[in-house]
Amino acid sequence: MTHPLARICLLGSIIATCATSQQAIQLVTGGTDDHLDFPADSRTIPDREMTVECWMTYDDSTVPTGSSYWPTICRHNVTPGAENYFLRVQAGSTNNLVLTFKIVTGQGGQSVSYNFVPGEFAAWTHVAATYDNRDLTLYINGMPVGTTPASGGNLASTSGFLRVGNGDDSTAGHEVWNGEIDEFRIWPFARTQAEILDTMNASLLVAPSALVLSLDGLYDDFSLGLTPTVSGTVPFVAGNALTPVAIGGVDYGQPSTTCTRHQLGTSVGSTAAPGNADFALICYDARVGRTGGVFLATQPLATPLNFFGVDFWVDVGTLLPAQPPATVGSGGTARRSLPIPAGTPSGLQLHAQFLFLDDCGSMGLVASKGLTFTIQ
């Protein structure tokens, strides 16, 4: 297995290479069906929490009327009437100015909307939408603009695939986005407002467990390793002026669990940077209510050691002092807040792993993937 540090160094060199590009994609409603289709992959359909975010522009002055139009940033499952989630403008036949994030759980469709004014999205605007198993929230430029209580539950279906820049194509061109899209990301947990603000103005190439499209001359996702099929014409244009940033985290290894829908992924909520008081380690897709903790160590293991039926991906001989307990919330996510002091030296590297009491493990324990994070 490639050492996590080597992966971080490689990604850093890729970021440096792409830093000069700063591009985005451009689409037009009412024309041909232009979009990016990503292969069906369970990692694009989060379980009980998620965040969708991007930078975008939207030209409401040129959206056709007289027929139904639904300019779409992204949609999972493009079969008409069978969406798992989408983020789009509900323009309809009269060019309504309503931005909507919708998910479908076992309780049915649930959504949150924001009514915007003409021309509000003519300039580059950041939009983020979160579902935390309790609420659906929309953010514009990092500020919450709408929250709707949700009935909770898993996303109802894992069928279909992710489409970016268009929705269902049963009527040609009617759901194509009408503007530009840049820095599109999907995270398998609900990010906090502080986390959204932390990376909002950053151009990320990768983030642990997240789908990340920097769209700087390439359509590919380098975080999960997904390459889309390009339909129609999806040109690159000058993008938003963002700062290339390495988020400082990479996951490695495999989780130890026998529950198929609970694979205990790991990530970081924001940038591992000195002075980041909101930095947190994340474990997602765990079983609700389980209690455990986080192991922090100065050394990782390339080959795990198995104790009590779980694989340890951190070197227990280099463990740091015990961290406070971590409990899995209603959305299947556990957070361990780990504020980074302002004077922390750049390059310091630590390795983490979550462990929970859970009968999904052969001996009543389950463990997450390993997570390496490096102070930037």
pLDDT of 156: 83
The low-confidence residues of the chain, meaning pLDDT below 50, are: 1-21
The pTM of the full predicted model, rounded to 2 decimals, is: 0.93
Number of Cβ atoms within 10 Å of the Cβ of 106: 11
pLDDT digits (tens, 9 = 90+) for 237-262: 999 999 999 999 999 999 998 887 77
Neighbours of 212 (CB within 10 A): 21
Neighbours of 54 (CB within 10 A): 23
Q: Using CA atoms, how far apart are residues 338 and 134, in angstroms rounded to an integer?
A: 24
Within 10 A of 30 (CB to CB), how many other CB atoms are there? 15
pLDDT digit string (tens) for 126-135? 999 999 999 9
Cβ–Cβ contacts within 10 Å for residue 41, how many?
15
What is the reported pLDDT for 261? Answer: 75
Distances (CA, A) of 8 to 223, 228, 272, 291: 12, 24, 13, 30
pLDDT at position 5 is 42
Residue 153, CA distances (Å) to 4, 103, 225, 252 in order:
34, 10, 28, 28
What was the pLDDT predicted at 158?
80
DSSP string, 220-287: -BTTTTB-PEEES---EEE----EE----EEEES--B-S-TT---EEEESS---TT-TT-EEEEESPP
Per-residue pLDDT, 263? 84
Q: In the structure encoding, which two tokens stand for residue 199, read together? A: 């990376």
Mind listing the domains of the chain with CATH numbers?
4-244 (2.60.120.200), 249-374 (2.20.130.20)
Query: In the prediction, which pLDDT does 280 show?
Result: 97
